[in-house]
Amino acid sequence: MLNKIFLTLFFCLLAGCATSPTGRSQLIYMSDSEMSQMGLQAFDQLKTQKPKSKNVRYINFVNCIAEAITQETGGDWEVVVFEDDSLNAFALPGNKIGVHTGLIKMVDNQDQLAAVIGHEVGHVLARHSNERMSQKTAVKLGVTAVSAAVGTPTSALGQLGMSALGLGAQYGIILPFSRTHESEADIIGLDLMAKAGFDPRQSVNLWQKMAQASKGQSPSEFMSTHPSHDTRIKELSEHIPKAMQYYQHAQSIGKIPHCSK
């Protein structure tokens, strides 16, 4: 019985195998059209809940950067600047981009904001939302399969064991994969911004500013869905020489964005 359950789970997982833009194996269940529809619904909901910025300079600044980056990806993208003081931006399946005014105020130049927008678009290109949903489904299937195989635990020790299994999945699978997503989006975004003509070296300056803004309040890397600022800066720095090649080529063929706030 146990072997049959795990064999079924194995083939279920295998059917969802895919590859990310960086060549990493992924678990993908949902169709892209389903994810796009979910992204559209979420974005529409956000537009009804959050006030849109009326600052024309900010809107033009963001649109200028987003247009340069999305020219590298293709497709039609909707971009909205939200009046929100938090240091945040996001991109959703279905080609939706949102940027908060707090982040615009913090960045020093177009290249720093391009690093964030490139990163968020990187999440969409790598289908990270789909992968996250698929991972959670797989973990739930795994826990359910084990529970079905061993029976419903009645003792305190048995219940503790099932609880530990769930906790182990959270910190052993879900969170590390989320950090992988963040690191992967960093690299995809770095290449995107460089190909669009933005200076990838400014990504390091951006995360140094983010680290200062957090004032050491971020959780430890083990307990976080994001890499630590130090880890992120180190990984970006290691990839910058390659990104600089894209940047120099972009500049040589006339891709020189002039976006100012």
Q: The tokens of 111 are what?
A: 């290249």
Q: Residues 34, 72, 83, 120: which is the catalytic one?
A: 120
The question of whether 184 is a catalytic residue gets the answer: no
Q: How far, in Å, CA of 18 to CA of 29, rounded?
A: 9
Interior/surface letters 216-254, b for 16+ CB within 10 angstroms, e for the rest: eeeeebeeeebbbbeebbebbeebbeebeebbeebeeee
| 110: Cα separation from own chain's centroid | 20
Do 256 and 57 contact (CB within 8 A), yes or no? no
- Cα torsion 187, 190, 195, 197 to 10°: value is 180
Do 243 and 207 contact (CB within 8 A), yes or no? no
| Closest CA relative to residue 31, chosen from 113, 114, 93 | 93
- Looking at residue 52, the DSSP 8-state letter turns out to be B
Positions marked catalytic: 120
